[in-house]
Structure formats: structure tokens, C-alpha cells
Structure 1
Amino acid sequence: MDLRRLVVAAVVLSEAGILHPAIVGGEDHHVFLDWEVSYAVRSPLGVAKRVIAINGRLPGPLLNLTTNDVVHVNVVNTLDEPFLLTWNGLQLRRNSWNDGVAGTNCPIPPGENWTYVFQAKDEVGTFFYRPSLALHAAAGGHGPIRVNNRPVIDVPFPHPDGGEFDLLIQDWYNMDATQMQERLDGGRALPPPDGVLINGLGPYEAELTFEAGRTYRLRVSNVGTRTSLAFRVQGHKLLLVEAEGAYTQQKHYASLDVHPGQSLSVLVAADQPPKAYHMVVSSLFAGPELYGVGTVRYAGSSDQMPSGNPLLDDRSSHNTYNRSMEQAKSIRMNLTSGAARPNPQGSFHYGQINITRTLLLRNDESEIGGRRRCTVNSVAFANTGTPLKLADYFRVAGVFTVVSGWPETRNPTLSTMAIDASYKDFVQIVFENRLPSLQTWHLDGSSFFVAGMGWGKWSQDARSTYNMVDAMYRSTVQVYPKSWTAVLVYLDNEGMWNLRSQDLERRYLGQEVYLRVSQGNSEVPDPRDEMPMRPCLPMLSCVEKLKVLKAGTS
């Protein structure tokens, strides 16, 4: 490690104890990791492609945590372009400085490093990390995250005595990510993907081994570019137990939909005759239908390949939006169990809290300045290259505009705006999808209650159909074509938080917004509510540019 990196490491470690006492308690466990981001070449579908690997691996290493662990991930960027990682689903309590998106973090320049420091505060569940700049996520750079319960907290299902497996499923393009970006910059849409992968592997390369009579936990995340996927294991039932940190009412499914950006956990009992079985991931709502096929093999079985047709076995029902919405509505939160804490998840009676404001966000497509854009209320987000969080911190005018709401503009426009939100507001966000394709939306910094979804346009009358008792609490939700989805979120995490489409094409073309959650009564947030900025060499160079910008506008 060179002197420059040693200086950064020393700064980070000293700050962990000096600048951030709220994040570091004497009893908290610290996890220190070094990750090197580099290019590699992989050919999962037989076509060589330049990918982004972490420590030479795709998927990258497992980030295996326990509730309240303090994480120090030193990321060294050996790419020839700036890079950022974001932690999909982790709430990063009071710490949006480490969110890893362009609105909060300065990119890590080539040859530099940045140490993410955050705590898995009061969290459990299944999540993943991925790149957040440009179309890097289409090239890889992702990996699984587990946040395990502390031993003193009961889990509402028997311990999986066979073990746990992380399964990252995704659509895959043989096209290089830079070519994909050039295509979008030229006004052309992306073509359909070329295939479906399981843990970065092509057909029949992913394998799991079961021992008869044991139970396994499969943690499944859709880390793909844009495609909803159905997951199933031939001849076995999937017992859904958790989704993005919330325990579910336990129900068996033959197949489960996992939309872009979503994560879930299922228990699978190895209770079938000991042989080999298909593990199938199939695309939804898009043609031609694509399949990723792996193998579940029972220990001691002589079978080399599963029998039957993997493209037909175990199809629970037709591939329709109606069927998918019904499945989504059947997934409910387990109100009787705790999650990261011993008190039941249902003790937060969200249905009895008054909604302080409603944000109606309509997504669409428009042509702006002669180029195809994806919009929210007719506004496509413009990334200025300056983190909104830093501009806000240093009070630099002209970088972005703060708006109290997000009214729909008369003419489609390109703009950099953030929605002003009050700390501890209870907000209703309604996503209205005007397009003929499914959308998914993700909120950093908070999870939300998925209160309702339905066809057509949303109206106030739709509230009578909401689930105000046991709606799922998650960070990523789907919005079906020509339909709406309503979520309720308690904004108790101060900071600048990204609300984005999980379709990489749509996000790149402008479908994202930021929520500026603050108390509004102080220029300097209380460290108990939001941690101060943590200097680091990439961050400091970005700050110097901001100071020059501020001097020029004063």
C-alpha cells in the first residue's frame, strides 16, 4: 500500500472514533475489508465481454454482517474511469455520505480509493451491492449482502440446518456496457437482453448441493439491467420467509417473481427423491422468453443431469401481469415476529399515522432537446457532476433546485431538483406508470410500506383499497404497466436520499429524484440525527472544486 492510501486509511480509522462517536459503540463489532475493483473478461453466454470484477470475482465477495456491525470497506478503483458502489436496501442510518450515488458521493477517480464506513444499524435481511455510475451495473461489480440476526433475537422459522446460498440472478447483455451507453446517448433504445445468468454463470453452470432431509435458505436478488424474473426449483416448494429485511407471513409458492432490484429469502426442504433437479430463472413479460438454468443435486445421487424439460416443468401459472399482481398482493408482513429488535414488526401501526403529504410521481418518456429521455412528472433528472449533498453542505447556489413538491410541468424539461422533505414526516408516494412496460422503484435510506396497487390512474378513492395492517415493508417495489403503486414511508433518516428507477436504461435517461430530508431549523445538522462529512482524498478534491465554484458565484 502506498503512502497516499496509508494516509487515507489513517484518516478513516481516526475519524471512526473521533468524528463519529454515534456510530461506534464499544460493544459494536467492526468489519474491515479491502476490495479492488478491476476489469476482467467473462463469457457466460459464449461471447467475451469486459466486466467489472471485485477482487477478481463476479459476483463479488459476500458482505456478511450481523445487526449493528460497523463496516469499513476500502474500495480501490483500478478502472480507467470513476467508480462508485451503492448498498441496495441497507438504510445507512444518518449516513447518506456513504450512500454511493452521484448525488451524495464524489466518484472514486482511477487509481484512487475511498473507504465506506457505515453501520448495519437495527437491520437484518437479504440485500446486494452494485455500481451506481453510468451503466456500470450492466458490466457487473455486484455482490450479495447478508445481515444476520444477533443471537439474542429469535428468528420466526427453524434454523436452516443445511446452510444458506446466495443467488444473484440477472438478465445479461453480450454488448459491452460502453456500447450500451453510446447507444442510449445516440437516442436508440436497448435491444432485448441476450440471456439470463445465475451467479454470473451461463446455462447449467450454477450448481447447488442438497443433503436429503435438510432445509436450506436461498437468498435471491435480481441484480439485472431491466428484466423481471421468475425463480423456481423443479419439484420443490419455496417457503417465502423474508424480503429486503422484513419477515413475511410464511407461504409456499411454486415460483416467485423477483423484479429488478428486489431481494427475498426462501426456505427449501430437501424432501424429494435424491436425484438432480432443474433450478430455473425465466424472464417475465418480455419476448422472446429467456431462461437461466442451473442444477440442484442431492448428495450421493448418481444423476449427472436433471430429467424433464426445464422450460416447461413447474410453471405455476401463465406469464401475465394479472397473475404477478395477485402474487404481489399475497405477500404480507409477519406481524408477530421481531426483525432486528425483539419487539414485533407489527408494533409500528403505520395505518394509524396521519399522512403529512402526498407525492404523486408519474413516469413517462419524452423527447427533450432532440434526445429521448425518461421523465418523472415530465422532468428528466440532469446529473451536473457535482454531488447535491456536498453543494447543500457548503451552501453552493446553482447546483440544484430545492422544490417543496414535484408538480408536473407543462413541457418536458431537463433539470436538477431535489424534493424538500421534513424529518419524521409520514409521506405517501404514489408511483403512476403510464407506459406499457413494468417499472420498479427503489428508495435509499428508508424502507416503505407497500400499501396498495391497482390498474389505471390513482385517485384519492384508491385509499379505500389499501392494506393498512400488514403491508410489506421493503425498499424496492414494482409498478405494473398502466397502473399505480402507493407506498407509505416514515422519513426518520436525515440526509440526501436517492429515489430511482431500477431499470438501468430508464435511470440513465433521467428517471430518478432526490429527497432532501432535514429538520430545517439548523444549518448544521445535529450529529445524533445526521453524521458530519468525513474527509477523504477523493472527497477533498471534490470539495476544493466546490469551493472554487462557490467563490465564482459569490
Structure 2
Amino acid sequence: MDLGRLVVAVVLSVAAGILHRAVIVGAENHHVFLDWEVSYAVSQPLGVAKRVIAINGRLPGPLLNLTTNDVAHINVVNTLDEPFLLTWNGLQLRRNSWNDGVAGTNCAIPPGENWTYVFQAKDEVGTFFYRPSLGLHAAAGGHGPIRVNNRPVIDVPFPHPDGGEFDVLIQDWYNMDATLMQQCLDGGRALPPPDGVLINGLGPYEAELTFEAGRTYWLRVSNVGTRTSLSFRVQGHKLLLVEAEGAYTQQKHYASLDVHPGQSLSVLVAADQPPKAYHMVVSSLFAGPELYGVGTVRYAGSTDKLPPGNPPLDDRSSHNSYNRSMEQARSIRMNMTSGAARPNPQGSFHYGHINVTRTLLLRNDESEIGGRRRCTVNGVAFANTGTPLKLADYFRVAGVYTVVSGWPETRNSTLSTMAIDASYRDFVQIVFENRLPSLQTWHLDGYSFFVAGMGWGKWSQDARSTYNLVDAMYRSTIQVYPKSWTAVLVYLDNEGMWNLRSQDLERRYLGQELYLRVSQGNSEVPDPRDEMPMPSNALLCGKAKNLKSWYKLAPSQHDHI
């Protein structure tokens, strides 16, 4: 590169850093500055000591409490002896996949170093959580709750609970160390069943909520576990479902609610029962042996140390039935009359009237590749190459990944690194078809989607006649029942490199993920209104490690990489 071109590159690099800050950090936005230290700790919620990942010495980690349009600056200090990344499960990170925190978009934070995430909770509200994204770190903890609250000028479709809010993180739990779990999978063996169920990282009867009689409480429930669907309920109390992953729901009472891996929802609970102690029960679904996590909801002034009698383990409305669970899923509809982050009604976007640009049919399965068990999507198990796809795309580094226009099914299963080339502002139908006898959950970073339909057997075009094209739920994580399909509709209005993954940690580790490369395709330099420039603090690694962080130039303006 000659001197003139080097000067241009440096100027553009500086401009990119300034522009990135200017775009995401407006003077009218509130800023939240946090310092999080990631460290090892020891926990034994089921009586067996295990090395876990704590944030600021806590598991679960601290609450990330934001309001719509807040800008978060989270300085993560990695004191582990291995690389680390956090991802923000459900936050859309508008125009900013640079801070998504997965291996395809970010270089890991090296041991002993720090990196600052900067992102905006742009035009969203809801209940979410953060968790580690590398290897099997999520099985060791490192998670915590996220709330994105409405701005005061936006009406919420229910009176704000006068009793307060509680974050309730539920999960399956392995006493086995995460390193041994990884060795198990690397050796071609499946993980054994989990050892138990936790509530807020606590074992039996340790988690406790306090209610005052006559008040109403907002419970924000997230399944942060490894692989198990869970049923949540509070003895003697009804759960009024009001929100799921950023969309307000039609309000309906449930005796219990299924929360599948990676999903979040909000319920209102009225403290309208005699003032004593009650069981809060979380039970595993669709797998044996059945496991239970039991906590306590205690009314203020009650002298009960524990709820009287045995916990009501047999009062679940699900009874471990896939049919019943699908019926419950279909009963959850979007509240069309309210706004979420904006004052207009959620139903003002008439998604059912938009023509579908393309259909992606994604079939999950298992196969043996190179003598090792793998989990595949259309016969392909994803392979991480050590260079984030986002950096390879930015610097145009050859040989890191392959861009494909679709995701065709291969006859022979293979290990590959591919990303689907998706056009900005396309309206895409994604059909998840589950060929296996166990439930799957799928999550798309950077987006929420309309859950248009689900049914048994194989999907066909005729299934569109059964779709809900009026008030389908708008969420970022969806379940696919055994031998069934789920169809979602997504408007690709968020440029970037976005991860589409199984929320079953074992299946994702074994290859069940892919990326969507959403771009306009006709511009070398993305418009910052559509995608933010590369942040000035971006870490470089892999094949991009020794490349200068300069802003993207036309191919004729720099040497071939």
C-alpha cells in the first residue's frame, strides 16, 4: 500500500471510529456504564461442588437494567484462564452485529484482558438474558437477567404492578464440570441427563420471593439452561401472561407455562391467596427422569418457614404432553392494540399482507462425520474456523467461509463454514423441520420473527393455509416439537452477520448453527444508517489478527488480502 492510500485508510479508520460513536451515542440518549469482572467460583446448589463462571462474584450475574434507547457500555474483564465472550439473548442490537458476542462476529476476550461492549437498546422493550457463547461455558453459568423498560411516554397495556418485579432464572443443572462435559461430546458421547433444576442458581427450597397480600407482582422468567424444557408455576396462583421476548401478549391466565431453552416471558401474579407460604415449582418436561426445582413464595408476615405439606408436583397442566404443549404455544397471541417500544399498536405492521421473498427450509438431524457424532442443518455441521465471519467479510479475507444463496440439503453430511447471503429488507419465511424424537429450540440473533405456524409431520406449501397471519407472536426463540415443523416470518431490516442457532447447548456445540449475512449487496461501504461502522476498539484474531483496522475501501483501493 503506497503512502497516499495509507493516509486515506488512516483517515477513514479514524472517521469510522468517530462515526460509530456518533451513530450509536446520540446526545439525547441515556448512557449506562458498567464494569463486569468474569471469574471462576465454586457453587454446589445440589450438594456437589462445581467450578462455575461468576460475574462480579455472583451467579446469576448482575441485572442489566435498561430503558428503550439507552446506550450500554459494558466493560468485561476476563480473569479466566481461557477466552470468553458474552452474547445478549433477545436484544436486537440494531445495525450493530459488531457487538453480538458470538464466535462468528467477535474475537474472544483473551485471558487477563478486557473489552467494552457498546450497544443501544434501540426501539425495544422486554425480558431477556445474557450468557456466555463459547464452547460449553453456558453450562458453567455466566448468565444474568436483562430488562428493557418502556419509556415513560409509552403506555404499557396493564397497570404497573404495585408489588414490584422479580427476575426468575430457571435452568437444568449438571454437577459435571463443563470441561468434562466438553470432553464427553468431543469423545463422541451424548451428555447424560441433567442432575437437577435450579431457580436463580439455587437448589431445593433456597429460592424465595416475598409477596404482600393484595399486591400484584411482575415475574420475568427465563430458561437459561443447557437443554431442558421446563414448566413454571406458583402453587395456588394464576399466571397472567403479558409479554414474551419483547412483544406484549393477549392477556390470558395459565396454571403453568412451558418455557423452552432460551425463551423468556413475563407474568403477573396477584397475591390474592391466604397469607402463608406457597411452593414455586419448576419441573422438567418431555424427558426422564423427571426433575423438580422447588422454591418458596412467602407472604409478608407469614410465620411458615416452608410451605406446609409436600410440593404439588402433580398439578402441572402439561402432563408432559407434546400435544398439550403445542396447544399452549398456539394459544399465545400478540396484543394487537398496544405498542411495545413505540406508541403505535403492535398490530399496525400487517405482516400477513407482505409477499414472502424467499423460503429457507432448515432440517435438523444427527450424523457421523469423520468418525464423530455431529448435529446438522440440512446435512451440514457448522465449523468455527478461528476467524470471525464478520471480520473476514469486512477485510475480504479469503478461505474463512463460503457464502451461499440458500441452504440446500446435502446427500452426504459434511462439516463446513457457510453463511446464507440474505438481501436487506427481504421478507423471508424460515421453516424449521425437526426429524428427531426430541424437542428443539432455535434462536435468531439481531431479530424477532412472527411465529406463523407449527404442525406435525413434514412441512409443505399447503401448510400456509393454516398460518396465523393476523396476531402471531413476535419473538426471537421458538420451539420445534419432535417430528414436526415450525414456520416463522422475518423482515430482514437489520444489516450485519447474524447467528441462527440451536438453543440446546449440546446440539449447538456439535454444529447446529449457521449465519445470515444480511446486506444490500450493492455497496462496498454500508450506509451507517443501515449498519454501523466497525468499532474502533474491535479485537482482531485468526486470519485477521495482523490486519489494520481500517474502514472498508473499494477493492481497487487496497492490496489483495
Instruction: Note whether the superposition's TM-score is higher than 0.5.
Output: yes
Stretch deviating more after TM superposition (301-310 or 55-64): 301-310
Partner of 1:402: 403
CA distance in 2, matches of 1:161, 1:144: 21
The SS at the match of 1:549 is coil
Q: Say if 1:9 and 1:197 are closer, same or farther in 2 by CA, change over 3 A.
A: farther
Give 1:11 deviation, angstroms: 16
Q: Say if 1:438 and 1:12 are closer, same or farther in 2 by CA, change over 3 A.
A: farther
Decide whether the 8 Å contact of 2:279 with 2:312 is kept in 1: no
- In the TM superposition, what are the counterparts of 1:530-549 in structure 2 within 5 Å? 530-533=531-534, 540-542=539-541, 545-546=543-544
Stretch deviating more after TM superposition (425-434 or 316-325): 316-325
Partner of 1:2: 2
Deviations 1:470-495 (A, max 9, x none): 00000000000000000000000000
Q: Say if 1:4 and 1:506 are closer, same or farther in 2 by CA, change over 3 A.
A: farther
CA distance in 1, matches of 2:111, 2:9: 18
Q: Say if 1:201 and 1:138 are closer, same or farther in 2 by CA, change over 3 A.
A: same
CA distance in 1, matches of 2:243, 2:546: 48
Decide whether the 8 Å contact of 2:352 with 2:470 is kept in 1: yes
Partner of 2:268: 267
Deviations 1:229-276 (A, max 9, x none): 000000000000000000000000000000000000000000000000
Decide whether the 8 Å contact of 1:16 with 1:24 is kept in 2: no
CA distance in 2, matches of 1:207, 1:413: 48
Give 1:307 deviation, angstroms: 2.1
Q: Say if 1:152 and 1:4 are closer, same or farther in 2 by CA, change over 3 A.
A: farther
Q: Say if 1:134 and 1:208 are closer, same or farther in 2 by CA, change over 3 A.
A: same
Q: Say if 1:188 and 1:68 are closer, same or farther in 2 by CA, change over 3 A.
A: same
Decide whether the 8 Å contact of 1:234 with 1:313 is kept in 2: no
The SS at the match of 2:386 is coil
Partner of 2:180: 179
CA distance in 1, matches of 2:231, 2:13: 43
Give 1:8 deviation, angstroms: 24
- In the TM superposition, what are the counterparts of 1:163-174 in structure 2 within 5 Å? 163-174=164-175
The SS at the match of 2:227 is coil
Q: Say if 1:460 and 1:293 are closer, same or farther in 2 by CA, change over 3 A.
A: same
Decide whether the 8 Å contact of 2:365 with 2:375 is kept in 1: yes
CA distance in 1, matches of 2:236, 2:196: 24
The SS at the match of 2:546 is helix
Give 1:303 deviation, angstroms: 1.2
CA distance in 2, matches of 1:200, 1:4: 57
Q: Say if 1:186 and 1:20 are closer, same or farther in 2 by CA, change over 3 A.
A: same
Decide whether the 8 Å contact of 2:242 with 2:251 is kept in 1: yes
Stretch deviating more after TM superposition (298-307 or 478-487): 298-307
CA distance in 2, matches of 1:5, 1:57: 49
Q: Say if 1:121 and 1:3 are closer, same or farther in 2 by CA, change over 3 A.
A: farther
Give 1:546 deviation, angstroms: 1.6
1:285 lines up with 2:286 in the alignment:
yes
Decide whether the 8 Å contact of 1:452 with 1:486 is kept in 2: yes
Give 1:19 deviation, angstroms: 2.6
Decide whether the 8 Å contact of 1:232 with 1:314 is kept in 2: no
CA distance in 1, matches of 2:4, 2:176: 36
Give 1:2 deviation, angstroms: 36
Q: Say if 1:82 and 1:317 are closer, same or farther in 2 by CA, change over 3 A.
A: closer
Give 1:27 deviation, angstroms: 1.0
Q: Say if 1:8 and 1:476 are closer, same or farther in 2 by CA, change over 3 A.
A: farther
Structure 1 ranges of 4+ moved more than 4 A: 1-17, 547-550
Decide whether the 8 Å contact of 1:72 with 1:118 is kept in 2: yes
Give 1:6 deviation, angstroms: 27
1:26 lines up with 2:24 in the alignment:
no
Give 1:367 deviation, angstroms: 0.2
Residue correspondences, number: 542
Deviations 1:183-236 (A, max 9, x none): 000000000000000000000000000000000000000000000000000000
CA distance in 1, matches of 2:209, 2:4: 43
Give 1:310 deviation, angstroms: 1.4
Deviations 1:304-355 (A, max 9, x none): 1112331435322421100000000000000000000000000000000000
Q: Say if 1:12 and 1:479 are closer, same or farther in 2 by CA, change over 3 A.
A: farther
Decide whether the 8 Å contact of 2:443 with 2:502 is kept in 1: yes
Q: CA RMSD for the aligned pairs?
A: 4.1
Q: Say if 1:301 and 1:108 are closer, same or farther in 2 by CA, change over 3 A.
A: same
Decide whether the 8 Å contact of 2:318 with 2:324 is kept in 1: yes
Q: Say if 1:113 and 1:267 are closer, same or farther in 2 by CA, change over 3 A.
A: same
CA distance in 2, matches of 1:328, 1:101: 29
Q: Unaligned stretches of 5+ in structure 1?
A: 534-539
Partner of 2:102: 101
Give 1:78 deviation, angstroms: 0.3
CA distance in 2, matches of 1:6, 1:36: 38
Deviations 1:354-378 (A, max 9, x none): 0000000000000000000000000
Deviations 1:495-524 (A, max 9, x none): 000000000000000000000000001111
Decide whether the 8 Å contact of 2:405 with 2:421 is kept in 1: yes
Decide whether the 8 Å contact of 2:173 with 2:194 is kept in 1: yes
TM-score by length of 1: 0.94
- In the TM superposition, what are the counterparts of 1:79-478 in structure 2 within 5 Å? 79-312=80-313, 314-478=315-479
CA distance in 1, matches of 2:309, 2:450: 40
- Identity among equivalent positions (%) equals 92
Partner of 2:70: 69
Q: Unaligned stretches of 5+ in structure 2?
A: 549-561
Q: Say if 1:343 and 1:168 are closer, same or farther in 2 by CA, change over 3 A.
A: same
Stretch deviating more after TM superposition (323-332 or 23-32): 23-32
Decide whether the 8 Å contact of 2:84 with 2:110 is kept in 1: yes
Deviations 1:447-466 (A, max 9, x none): 00000000000000000000
CA distance in 2, matches of 1:96, 1:233: 38
Decide whether the 8 Å contact of 2:540 with 2:546 is kept in 1: no
TM-score by length of 2: 0.93
Decide whether the 8 Å contact of 1:291 with 1:311 is kept in 2: no
Decide whether the 8 Å contact of 2:281 with 2:313 is kept in 1: no
Give 1:171 deviation, angstroms: 0.1
Q: Say if 1:317 and 1:408 are closer, same or farther in 2 by CA, change over 3 A.
A: closer
Q: Say if 1:454 and 1:541 are closer, same or farther in 2 by CA, change over 3 A.
A: closer
The SS at the match of 1:278 is strand
Deviations 1:378-408 (A, max 9, x none): 0000000110000000001110000000000
Decide whether the 8 Å contact of 1:501 with 1:511 is kept in 2: yes
Q: Say if 1:306 and 1:6 are closer, same or farther in 2 by CA, change over 3 A.
A: farther
CA distance in 2, matches of 1:234, 1:7: 68
Decide whether the 8 Å contact of 1:396 with 1:549 is kept in 2: no
Q: Say if 1:200 and 1:5 are closer, same or farther in 2 by CA, change over 3 A.
A: farther
Deviations 1:11-66 (A, max 9, x none): 99999982325511111000000000000000000000000000000000000000
CA distance in 2, matches of 1:27, 1:423: 28
Q: Say if 1:5 and 1:49 are closer, same or farther in 2 by CA, change over 3 A.
A: farther
Deviations 1:392-443 (A, max 9, x none): 0000111000000000001000000000000000000000000000000000
